[in-house]
Amino acid sequence: MLDLMIVDDEKMVVNDLVNLIDWQASGFNIVAQAYNGKSALEKFSRLKPDVVITDIVMPVMKGIDLLRQIKMVAPATIVILISSYSEFAYVKEALDLGAFGYLLKDEINAKSLLALLAKVKINLQSAAETVNPFASIAADSSSSAALQKSFAYMICEIDQPFPLAEMVCQEKVNPSVFHSAEIQFVRDIVYEQINVHHVFVVSGSRLILELSVNRKCGQHLQLRECLHLFAKYLQREIGDRFSRTVSIFLINELLNQQGAREFYQRYESSIRNRIFWGSGLIIDLTDDRLARIGALQVLDSAELATMIKRKNRDKLLSQIEHHFQDIVSRRDFNGFFGSLESLVNLIDLFSHEAGQSPLKISARHDSSRTVANIGQCQQWLINEIDKLLDDLDAAEKYSHNVQKTINYIRENFADKDLGLNDIADAVALSPTHLGFLFKKETGVTINHFITTVRMDQAMEMLRSADCKMYEIAGSVGYRSSQYFSQVFTKHVGCMPKEYHRAYGKQ
């Protein structure tokens, strides 16, 4: 029986789905109903259903955001989306994020629902046999000897990039996987060094080694030492050959295949908690550092937003720091991702209000890509919120019309015809009055500010990309690359090509 949750802000839709088919007869148990994404996420964290059917557009938290959260903490969960024709633009994004399928509200009937659920059951059954490599072992006469024999087990997993950049930049990052040549390489070296009974490919990024261990390594302390030495050797060989790091988890006891299956099911969720300890680990799966001690409440977005609006810097930064300390001490994986998303969303929300330039937003994205562990993640959040509060303070120095002008220029600097008259129309002031007001409050003319914004963006492009000069000129609002080069040289003090040679990525 598979556990299932239904989510829709219209109770009638939820009730119609509940009564549409005989769920129990179809192999599904409805464990929860929710009427917004936030409530659904809380119930999901507690109940861990196998399948979630959710509306795309809902108050509090959209279905697309619920999907993203679920896939972060439980990627194997099947998520089915309900959409109307007017919401169909969201469907492609949802499928890219890992949604299993979708149902159109106007076309849902028992036949279409049962057909989709049949595919779900096949998918989950296939996934279970892949994720749990021991599940395919048949208890028949041909495997009875293997079932009785005891083995040692090691789990080898590729270290993945820290997930902050994927959340900040809204870029789908495909996980690193073992390629066939790497799997064969692992098989070759382990067969040379130790008697390996099997090498299971659990998923693209995870291998399990089933080791036949001689009697002298059978005692617990000797087994631990043997496995640890071999794990270090395996890490070194993979690193030298393929320039990638792996973490290795040890089962420091001899088990038959039935015992290994139960052990794996019990501790598989602990493997994800390595996010709190970094990469290149060699660790016993029963190590207390991997165990989840307790759950934390996700940071309250409304409360944090209030602190940002009130510029309560010390209280805000202190709360974030203490919350992350609690997350690490409790090893609360779900709490970490929920709080991280709340903070990233708030930074995005208030960055527009603060009038942050495309250059500053791009720099934030770039810096998120260098974050490698949870400690650096905490520091990144504190730094970005600190900058955000500074920018919000600066934004308040200007009148509404001047701040509106600044925001308009930052959003439209690439327009080759951008000028005082267009900006004045957007702000609903006369060009003369706006020009006087802007110079009085900022100390520079509107034309000078436009040039500054364009040059900032040009410098960013020269640092981060190998573009043609005419491409950069066009991207920042100039028709002539020659004129752009003259303006750049006057503004920055060197020619664009010289700047690229000095500061561009090599």
The strand pair at 246-255 and 151-158 is best described as: antiparallel
| CATH at residue 476 | 1.10.10.60
Residue 140 falls within a domain, yes or no?
no
CB neighbourhood size of 434 (10 A): 23
pTM over 0.75: no
Measured CA distances, 72 to 98, 235, 297, 393 (Å): 10, 26, 17, 34
CB 58 within 8 A of CB 88: no
Residue 295 lies in a domain: no
pLDDT of residue 132: 45
Domain, as residue range, for 321 = 301-394
Residue 309 belongs to some domain of the structure: yes
Residues 122 and 187 in one domain: no
Structural domains in the chain (count): 4
Output the pLDDT for position 202.
66
- CA distances to 162, 267, 357, 408, 413 from 439, rounded to whole Å, are 45, 64, 19, 16, 18
Would you say residue 164 lies in a domain?
A: yes
CA distance 481 to 471: 8
pLDDT confidence of residue 173 = 63
- My answer on whether 152 and 277 are in the same domain is yes
In this predicted structure, what is the pLDDT of residue 217?
A: 52
Q: What is the pLDDT of residues 149-203, one digit of tens each?
A: 777 888 899 988 887 877 777 666 667 788 878 888 888 877 776 655 667 766 6
215/347 same-domain check: no
Asked which of 260, 290, 320 is the last residue of a domain, the reply is 290
- Per-residue pLDDT tens digits for 64-95: 889 888 888 887 889 998 877 555 556 666 66
For residue 370, what pLDDT is reported? 80
Q: What is the pLDDT of residue 134?
A: 43
Q: What stretches in the chain show pLDDT beneath 50?
A: 129-144, 146-147, 216, 218
